[in-house]
Chains A and B, each alone.
Chain A
Amino acid sequence: MLSVAIRHRFGAFALDAAFEAPPGITVLFGRSGSGKSTIVNAVAGLFAPDAGRIEVDGRALFDAAAGVNLPPHRRRLGYVFQEGRLFPHLSVRRNLLYGRWFAPRKVPRAEIDRVVEMLGLGPLLERRPGALSGGEKQRVAIGRALLASPRLILADEPLAALDEARKAEILPYFERLRDEAAAPVLYVSHSAAEVARLATTVVALQAGRVIRQGPAAEVLGDPSVAPTGVRGVGAVLEARVAAHHADGLSELDAAGDRLFLPKVLQPVGATVRVRMAASEVMLSLEPPRAISALNILPGTVEAIHDGQGPGTIVSVRTRAGTVLARVTRRSAEALALAPGLPVHAIVKTVAIAPEDVGGEAHAAHQEPAR
């Protein structure tokens, strides 16, 4: 468990953030300039805030009042940087084992083999970082952080420098990390899709302050939290893969309702998270008939969140969980939407991108798409 409570002032920007990161992935979520990277660097010891305390499992890494400020090398971290930062003069193998030289507890051989296998690094071991692709570099960087036997793993937008295909290659490894690593992971992101797939806990930041923290589904399902703008709003549902069909679709069971998605990687029986962007969800009072959209979830209106502009966000309680729909205020009035009203939420299959679907622990042994 990591707990952070820090204050710092840089000119006009004031950082005043407090949160706790339980095991699993805690995502610091916010637009650029909200203070995410500053917090991670403070946790890493790369910068000392004016005031506050940072502790891991009860041990203070930083405590301004007590004058404690451990240097980075004594904090037992694994930091995955945005640009990888692999050592160019060392082979992949020696990059991976770099932290092991300094760890008080030597990572056992079997653990090294497991990490190498989990990240698919076997064929790369003798290569130099200069000969690796962007995605391969990031996989090595993740492995290097893990093998330092860290008590805390930090990742500062580790996918931001990669294209979509490479992101899709790396995301499953972070899912495995979330489900298998004992150390808590503090992960910085400004991508709603990444957050929806990876986060166990979300800490939403705005202008240096924590505006909301809690379990991922709860925070992302709250329309008042939209750190990256209204387009980032979307609910996350859990569903079980029921079948893969020959026409390229996968059928999922979301607490009794059928969902059809473009083919997902997880095997039948696996539980996955599906993010539905609010702007892709339509509402209908009648059960729609003769409509091309394949996903229809019956439910009742839970709340209507008016914001600025012509749009409004309606949260609908379905059997599978809360679904958010972004509709115009005009439509909301025309349908006389009000809490308690039965409605049908409609989502086009093709509106759900592969990056919106993520696997859980037991689904993670599937090879990622290349």
Chain B
Amino acid sequence: MSWLPGPEALEALSLSLKVSAWATAGSLPFALLAAHALARWRFPGRGLLNGLVHLPLVLPPVVTGWLLLMVFGTRGPVGSLLAEVGVVLAFRWTGAALAAAVMAFPLMVRAIRLSIDAVDPKLEQAAGTLGASRPWVFATVTLPLILPGIVAGAVLAFAKAMGEFGATITFVSNIPGETRTLPSAIYAFLQTPGGESQALALAGVSVAVAMGALLVSELVAVRVAARVRGA
């Protein structure tokens, strides 16, 4: 019996890091767009968008996973189209990344939206009068000012993705080396006689990753905020 993570545990850890990194990076542009739309635009269906974005936060994760399976499974409406161009999500690590991204999306959008709400639209107006078009205003004024919110949202989403279990196991199952992420591995170890020590090792790793992520985000946010405040 060893207290150090064995090869299976390390495999789960590296898979989880890969899945979470892709989930975070892939959903960031969409989260930025959704947060900007919700904070600044008035359009019909805004309430519906808000509801959709937040749905994974309140639905049972198993339901989210099952919905993903129905839509993105090889016989689902989107999954079958993707399969034709050679992209398969169900029971692949890419599917785990999608499930993690969907589950983490509301957290990322909320963090970014809060920071957009804190930007004074008068500054954006001022940039417009100085000749900056809308995209330039966003790139040169809005984006730098919301950077702390983006960092916070991304770190929160990454941590959430690292811990995602219900939707992942429903959508992509628990295949060693392919979809057995850190929480799935802990669950599997707990189901195996004598697996507690590996489960404990992985639990320790989870705590370390989570704490590390929070610390990094704090540090970055403090630095960026000081720069942005203009002191």
Contacts and interface: CB of A to CB of B under 8 A. Distances in A.
Interface of A: 44-46, 71-79, 81, 83, 85-90, 98-99, 101-103, 128-131, 144-145, 148, 154
Contacts of B137: 73
A176 to B, nearest CB: 21
Contacts of A148: 130-131
A131 B231 contact: yes
Contact of B133 (A45, A73, A154): A73
Nearest to A85: B126
A155 to B, nearest CB: 12
5 contacts: A73-B130, A87-B127, A99-B130, A101-B131, A102-B132
Contact of B145 (A46, A85, A88, A129): A88
A228 B120 CA distance: 31
A130 B131 contact: no
B26 interface: no
B231 A144 contact: no
B131 A79 contact: no
Contacts of A79: 126, 129-130
B175 interface: no
A154 B127 CA distance: 14
B123 to A, nearest CB: 6
A81 B130 CA distance: 12
B7 interface: no
A87 B127 CA distance: 9
A6 B227 CA distance: 43
A77 B127 CA distance: 11
A87 B141 contact: yes
B16 to A, nearest CB: 35
A72 B230 contact: no
B229 interface: yes
Interface size class of B (residues with CB under 8 A): 20 to 34
Contact of A89 (B122, B129, B228): B228
Interface of B: 120, 122-123, 125-133, 136-137, 140-141, 144-145, 227-231
Contacts of B229: 88, 130
B131 A89 contact: no
Contacts of B141: 87
A73 B128 contact: yes
B129 A77 contact: yes
A71 B144 contact: no
A72 B129 CA distance: 5
Instruction: Give the one of B131, B132, B140, B144 with max A CB within 10 A.
Output: B131
Nearest to A147: B130
Contacts of A71: 128, 133
Given A88-B229, A130-B229, A81 B132 contact: no
Name the 4 nearest CB pairs between A and B, nearest first: A102-B131, A88-B230, A130-B230, A128-B230
Nearest to B141: A87
B129 A44 contact: yes
Contact of A144 (B122, B123, B130): B130
Given A78-B129, A98-B132, 5 more contacts: A85-B126, A88-B145, A88-B230, A98-B127, A102-B130
A88 B128 contact: no
A87 B129 contact: no
Given A88-B228, A129-B230, A83 B130 contact: no
A124 to B, nearest CB: 13
A102 B129 CA distance: 11
